[in-house]
Amino acid sequence: MKKVLVIGIGVGDPDQLTLQAVQALNRVDVFFVMDKGPAKTRLRALREEILRRHAKGRTYRVAEAPSPPRDPAPADYRACVDELNQAKQAVFEKLIAEVKDGETGAFLVWGDPMLYDSTIRNLDVLKDAGAAIDYEVIPGITAIQALAAAHKIPLNRIAEAVTITTGRKLAQGFPPGVDSVVVLLDGEDTFRRFSDQDVEIYWGAYLGTPDQILIAGKVKDVADEIHRRRGEARRTNGWIMDTYLLRRTTT
């Protein structure tokens, strides 16, 4: 039997790893790296820095494989995700094959493995197909937590709910009965649709890294600035990780 750890490593700051995550790193024999190409070399460097700082308890190996590409604008989103996950499952099988029986491998997952990440689902598929693996999940600091901390705000107002959603869902409007929405996976600057409403935004990119960018204010006042800064940052770095909180203003 092979052991697989799914370790949440936070959003970029090696000091944000939990003690549980650090202890988990030092149980690992093989770390799995899915290479996303030259544009994501800094993400790889952040992972390597985490290992340098925290994986000191044993000698380890690194197994690498290219990450399957994803269509950025699919006609059928669900079908595209299904195809992507099938390709990832094949990559997972190859990586896990590098682990010997009785050894432990690990996926290092940005943020928290339970929030908008496919690693757990793909491991479940492999287990259901008969893979001789057992896995454990270690939570991490999410982009949502890092965003709120960086802006020094609580996510919720007293006696109110907060909804976590995606840009694709936000395009349909605020969820019914909710005035505070945390948005992940928005590649279309969907917040700009609310420029004609009394809505505040707390936006952050590259949270927890030296490149961190924070902008806050009324959407009508800062939407263009966020759009511009986001575009500049993406062109400069070749990638961007960002999230934001939208909140309707109440009187």
Q: Give residue limits of the domains in the chain.
A: 2-138, 143-248
Rounded to an integer, what is the distance from CA 34 to the centroid of its chain? 14
Task: Read off the pLDDT of each residue in 181-188 and give the average, rounded to a whole number.
Answer: 95
Residue listed under structure tokens 């902008």 = 215
Three-class DSSP category at 7: strand
Contact residues for 191 (Cβ-Cβ < 8 A; gap 6+): 170, 183, 201, 203, 219, 223, 226, 244, 246
Could you report the per-residue pLDDT of 18-28, keeping only the tens digit for each? 999 999 999 99
Could you report the per-residue pLDDT of 207-244, keeping only the tens digit for each? 999 899 999 999 999 999 999 999 999 999 888 999 99
Three-class DSSP category at 191: helix
Could you tell me which CATH number the domain at 143-248 has? 3.30.950.10
What is the residue-averaged pLDDT of the chain?
Answer: 93
Residue listed under structure tokens 């598929």 = 125
End-to-end Cα separation, the chain, in angstroms: 59
Task: Read off the pLDDT of each residue in 28-34 and give the average, rounded to a whole number.
Answer: 95
H or E segment to which residue 72 belongs: none
Could you tell me which CATH number the domain at 2-138 has? 3.40.1010.10
pLDDT: is 70 or 144 the higher one?
A: 144
- Note the pLDDT of residue 39: 61
Provide the whole-model pTM: 0.92
